[in-house]
Amino acid sequence: MKEFYMKRAIELAEKAVGFVNPDPLVGVVLVKDNRVIGEGYHKEYGAPSAIEEMLSTIKEDIYGSELYINLEPEFDIIVNSGIKKLYIGMLNPDKTKSNIEKFISSGIEVNVGILKEECEELNEIYKHYTLFKTPFVFTKWAMTLDGKLATKTGDSKWISGEESLRFVHHLRQRVAAIMVGENTVRQDNPMLTTRLEGVQISNPLRVILSKYGDISPEANVLKVDSDTKTLIISSINIPEDKEKFLVNKGVQLIKIKEKNNRIEFKDIVKALGEMKIDSLYIEGGSSVLASAFESGIVNKVYAAIAPKIIGGKDAITPVGGIGIERMKDAIVLKNVKHEIVGNDVIFKGYI
């Protein structure tokens, strides 16, 4: 039953995906005499905690009850509540703020680590942002069976199947920001919005890497409103007229000093972290992905492999750049999992 209740807490927490960043996703289930007497979740950034949410709906006496929660709770709200047992999925990522010892010395029984792996993955963004104050970065690309990101003409619509495309929108819903390079804007003219049916939508901030602001006035990413915002990352040497044009379009601009003609991704994630952006999904293309991997800021990789073959030595591959010389220097993913989605296989793993 312990796993069952924790699974339910995770399920509740997931209802707020896209709305809590940079807060954690938290769900709670309160059990007394083998009966669920309360449930709750943290609904949006700055809103009451999952426990407060749940307590506000319970009418009966909770003395002696057991709380299932995916992330270690605050001390004060538990200590005088009457809750006698805590089942915690994962500890506070900031060890200096952990309350476990305090719970135990207050006579509250504590069990840590139920469905730990699932709980850690649920809040991997929160954990990373808490520890480093920079966004958790993941990449996702779709490639053909012969390892291409697009045809030799740059056409990539669509490599993956419909089911994998839906998977992309779930990723977009989860993150605070999504990034592509200016060639992708030129070639695909993407909206970079979240499109899912049956759920409330949360659009990520669209981040475009464009050294000198060469973006067409017709680009969809320049259509900005209160729900779909855009941030351009450019060089400090962006021409004045381009800067003026973009700012007039309503986009935000961050200018970063180039190093060896490149904008360093470490500077980009630092700037985004200062804006309270806790997660960045880099969707492509090949050149931007190469820069991201070269700078060492990528934490997680998703790659969809579609059963299509397009050939062409000039057709780009997912990670461009100069590349390494020896296999021993390859980036090797950890905790690799794969899932069949429609006819595609989606790999995921950590760096």
Ligand X SMILES: NC(=O)c1ccc[n+]([C@@H]2O[C@H](COP(=O)([O-])OP(=O)(O)OC[C@H]3O[C@@H](n4cnc5c(N)ncnc54)[C@H](OP(=O)(O)O)[C@@H]3O)[C@@H](O)[C@H]2O)c1
Contacting residues toward ligand X, per CB under 6 A: 141-142, 149-150, 154, 156, 159, 180-184, 187-188, 209, 211, 262-263, 283-288, 291, 316, 320
d(CA 74, CA 239): 50
Closest distance of CB 131 from ligand X, Å: 25
228 vs 287 by CB, closer to ligand X = 287
The answer to whether the beta carbons of residues 214 and 232 sit under 8 Å apart is: no
Residue 166 annotated as binding site: no
CB of 234 to ligand X, least distance (A): 9
- CB 300 within 8 Å of CB 120: no
Nearer to ligand X, 92 or 234 (CB): 234
Q: Give the Å distances, CA to CA, from 272 to 93, 206, 297.
A: 21, 12, 13
| 106 annotated to a ligand binding site | no
Angle at CA 116, nearest 5°, toward 115 and 120?
Answer: 125
> How many C-beta atoms surround the C-beta of residue 301 within 10 A?
23
Residue type, position 339, single letter: E
Nearer to ligand X, 316 or 341 (CB): 316
The least distance separating ligand X from the CB of residue 126, rounded to whole angstroms, comes to 27
Nearer to ligand X, 38 or 181 (CB): 181
| Residue 35 labeled ligand binder | no
Asked whether residue 286 is marked as a ligand-binding residue, the answer is yes
Binding site annotation covers 290?
A: yes
Could you tell me which residues come within 8 angstroms of residue 56 by beta carbon, excluding any fewer than 6 positions away? 48
Q: How far is the CB of 150 from ligand X (least distance, A)?
A: 4
Nearer to ligand X, 90 or 289 (CB): 289
Q: What is the DSSP string of 276-309?
A: T--EEEEEE-HHHHHHHHHHT---EEEEEEES--
Nearer to ligand X, 173 or 210 (CB): 210
- Beta-sheet strands, E only, within 72-228: 85-90, 109-112, 136-144, 177-181, 205-209
CB of 153 to ligand X, least distance (A): 8
182 annotated among ligand-binding-site residues: no
Q: How far is the CB of 344 from ligand X (least distance, A)?
A: 11
Helix (H, G, I), strand (E, B) or coil at 345: strand
180 marked among binding-site residues: no
Comparing C-alpha atoms, which of 209, 148, 212 is closest to residue 183? 209
Annotated binding-site positions: 142, 156, 158, 172, 184, 188, 192, 195, 283, 285-291
Q: Which residues are annotated as a binding site for substrate?
A: 156, 172, 192, 283
Q: Which residues are annotated as a binding site for NADP(+)?
A: 142, 158, 184, 188, 195, 285-291
